Amino acid sequence: MTPSLHDAARQVRQGIRAATDGLVGRDQLAELIVLAAVAGEHLLVIGPPGTAKSAVVRRVAQSMGGRYFEYLLGRFTEPSELFGPVDLRKLREGTVETDVTGMLPEADVAFLDEVFLGSTAILNTLLGLLNERRFRRGHTQIDCPLRVAVGAANGLPEDEALAAFADRFLLHLFIEPVPDHHLEAMLDGGWRADTAPVTAAASLSHLDVLCRAVRQVDMAGARPGLADCIRQLRRAGVHLSDRRIVKSQRLIAAAAVLAGRTEATPADLWPLLYVLPTKESQLSARDVLKEPLAHATHPNLFSAVEEAAMQPMSRVGRLVETALVCLARQDAGRQAEAEGLLREIDANFHADVLPADLAVCRKKLAALVALPV
């Protein structure tokens, strides 16, 4: 039985939670991997080594049940290490074919670390695989099941040829080490994550439902706002190529279906920030697009939208889920957590503009705080 759009989005959210359990501060990365997969695009992650990039991608693949391929590229990496060796049996028959068993052309989710260190031969083959989901090498030409590829590097390349390759990743995310005030949570979560297996909370069939729905999304409600955002960015000196502007619509449509809708609205414009290719342009865009993104919100990708907009409405999804988890707890520490949530809710929302679902949670939290310890 094919799941509904709403059920598929809800199950994918459960998959994100399973993938990020114990990985403090990496919800945003997991959510953008899923957004890219639903949109049929790819994600480039820029950040220092040791920031759990590969762990998040691997755990997302495990939570979705997809075939996973991971490789650390170097200057001397051979194409066969990614795409597979020449099939010797076929070679004896005079045909040059590649045995792709267990290699990148068979993966649903791929993580390529230090992606810019790949040779020209590797990057040229990758371009066809990323853009067309098709692998070509010698007599071998096969369609690939790749849902999303995540490339990682310590910084953006300065070489023009490599910069053109980086541009093929529509989403760019810049991450930093976990800040000091989250170190205790990182240590505790990391200890648990090392020993606890990832639960397959969703499946590729749920992603398929969402991917099919992207093509049916009505973009009329979001296009005027998107065009206005581009104009504002241009006036501020922040420019995007025409190709990236057009393709950003796929991310906006994916954001809509991941919220359980087939109509895009101005609340779905937030992925535009991640389309901007540099950290500086993303920081500038947060200020320039403050008004257009004031109503940005999402029920299932709330870390990604909160980091993009950094405004009260963008925090609704996180506050609601955190409140529900707190209310379900039975330990002595839940009242202290409830008090902290009430303070954050009241600091962000006046009672007159409190969203309905958050208002329900606030009422229950207030009742919990009032209980005798």
d(CA 298, CA 315): 9
For the whole model, what pTM was predicted? 0.92
Query: 147 near 185, Cβ under 8 Å?
Result: no
Tokens 């895009």, residue located:
264
d(CA 304, CA 27): 8
Give the sign of the dihedral formed by CA 267, CA 303, CA 318, CA 34.
Answer: positive
Please tell me the predicted confidence (pLDDT) of residue 174.
Answer: 97
Collapsing DSSP states into helix, strand and coil, what is residue 109? Answer: strand
How do the pLDDT tens digits run along the chain, 373 residues long?
567 999 999 999 999 998 998 888 899 999 999 999 999 999 999 999 888 899 999 999 999 988 999 999 999 999 999 999 887 777 677 677 888 999 999 999 999 999 999 999 999 999 989 999 999 887 788 999 999 999 999 999 988 889 889 999 999 999 998 888 778 878 887 777 776 678 787 889 999 999 999 999 999 999 999 999 999 999 999 999 999 999 999 999 999 999 999 999 999 999 999 999 999 999 999 999 999 999 899 999 999 999 999 999 999 999 999 999 999 988 888 889 999 999 999 999 998 889 999 999 999 999 988 866 4
* Residue of 268, 241, 236 lying closest to 39 (CA atoms): 268
Could you tell me which residues are beta bridge partners of residue 218?
A: 263
d(CA 101, CA 130): 18
Please tell me the predicted confidence (pLDDT) of residue 195.
Answer: 67
326 phi and psi, to 5 degrees? -60, -45
* Residue of 277, 267, 264 lying closest to 317 (CA atoms): 267
Please tell me the predicted confidence (pLDDT) of residue 150.
Answer: 97
d(CA 307, CA 143): 35
Tokens 């190709």, residue located:
243
298 phi and psi, to 5 degrees? -160, 135
Which residues are within 8 A (CB) of 373 and not within 5 positions of it... i.e. 6 or more apart?
332, 335
Which residues are within 8 A (CB) of 179 and not within 5 positions of it... i.e. 6 or more apart?
25
Please tell me the predicted confidence (pLDDT) of residue 372.
Answer: 64
d(CA 191, CA 23): 10
270 phi and psi, to 5 degrees? -60, -30
